[in-house]
Structure 1
Amino acid sequence: MFHFSNIVRSKGDPTIVESGPSLKRPQDQLARALGWFSLGLGVVELLAPRRVTETLGMEGSETLVRAFGVREIVAGIMSLSVEKNAGLWARVGGDGLDAAALLSGLTSDNPKKGNIALALLMVGGIAMLDYRAAQDTKPRRPPRDAKRKLYPGRSGFPKGVKAAKDRAKDMIQHATAGVTS
């Protein structure tokens, strides 16, 4: 069976024969999907701001749309990183900015206010997903009254420090014995 992951493997790497279930939690998968969505939206806003403003009847706001595009790209990168929670909260804040900007275009003289209303509904739905993902991925901390585990007697060596030193000495002696003979 063909697996896409095998394409990027180097020669000599084992190939994937069968995929197992994902180890990603559903909230991590949502964060990832929102990160990719943010990147895509940011690229559109950055590269085609006039198209966005024309669709919304908000011509003249291209610089703002470009700035929002940069914000989306940064939030998307953060949402795809190890610090995904910070990226998701940046998305939540960005949703508020998007809504405020859209509301400014919801005027009686805008012939495309129906498009703005639809965009506001979409921003509201995405905002709920962003908020949910940000809540679900926040770092978990132990309760204040939890006992901390301390390991003062552990060295990190399974057989102890003395055994590790003895093994190192043996290896050095063995290596130098071959050099001197």
Structure 2
Amino acid sequence: MKLFSRMSDIARSPGDPVVITPGPSVKPAADQMARGLGWFSLALGAFELAAPRTITRFLGMEGHENLIRAYGAREIAAGMTSLSTEKELGLWSRVFGDALDIATLMAACRYSNPKRENVALALAVVVGITLLDLGSANAQTMTHSRRKGRHRDYSDRSGFPGGAIMARGKALERQRSETTGAIR
């Protein structure tokens, strides 16, 4: 992001205003990570739906293609949710999905499996991704949740642009004009 900022400074005239602090349109790092993980989920889920035999052959889990397809659908759902306004829900669903993946891989990591080394590699990758998902879900929760005991104070707001007194004055003026107009 800083690179693009520096590049745009090249085209700036000396008198142009400079952004000192970013506005609300700049996404926090937690949102950017959620977006990246959401796209990763969509790609992984599409691969699991499109090529379950390749995955099961690699892991020595032949005959479990439908399970891999179900996990692919779950990944796509988590990815779509992570890209929506419900990022926190999507990221936590990724964490729980990772727990399912770990349990499945642990079951496949038996001595009778000739591809046990592949399963161990996949397990290491999934554990790493789980840590990333967990950190991202926690960051998302911390970034977008309100602290306990802190409530927003709207007591100074009336909902009227000029305040309640001005709104009452306008209403009285309108009522008077309607009353005088009705008499004529």
| TM norm structure 2 | 0.73
Of all paired residues, the percent bearing the same amino acid is 45
Amino acid at match of 1:71: R
1:53 aligns with 2:59: no
Structure 2: distance between partners of 1:147 and 1:42: 40
Structure 2 residue corresponding to 1:149, chosen from 147, 153, 164: 153
Q: CA deviation at 1:150?
A: 3.1
Q: What is the number of residues matched between the two proteins?
A: 151
State the partner residue of 1:29: 32
Paired residue for 2:111? Answer: 108
Corresponding residue number in structure 1 for 2:162: 158
Q: Displacement of 1:109 after TM fit?
A: 2.2
Tell me if structure 2 keeps the 8 A contact 1:155–1:161: no
Which ranges of 4 or more aligned residues in structure 1 deviate by more than 6 Å? Answer: none
2:145 aligns with one of 116, 140, 144: 140
**In the alignment, what sits opposite 1:74?**
77
Partner of 2:91: 88
2:101 to 98, 101, 108: 98
CA drift of 1:35 comes to 0.6
* More moved, 21-30 vs 135-144: 21-30
Higher relative helix content = 2
Instruction: Quote how far apart the aligned CAs of 1:102 are.
Output: 0.8
1:157 and 1:62 mapped to 2: Cα distance? 61
Q: Distance in 1 between matches of 2:36 and 2:157?
A: 44
Is 1:123 the equivalent of 2:129? no
The AA in structure 2 aligned to 1:41 is L
Residues 117-159 of structure 1 deviation map (CA, whole Å, 9 limit, x = unaligned): 1100010000001101111111421331x46413366133236
Structure 1 stretches of 5 or more lacking a match?
A: 1-16, 170-181
Distance verdict in 2 for CA 1:49–1:164, change over 3 Å:
farther
Q: Distance in 2 between matches of 1:82 and 1:73?
A: 16
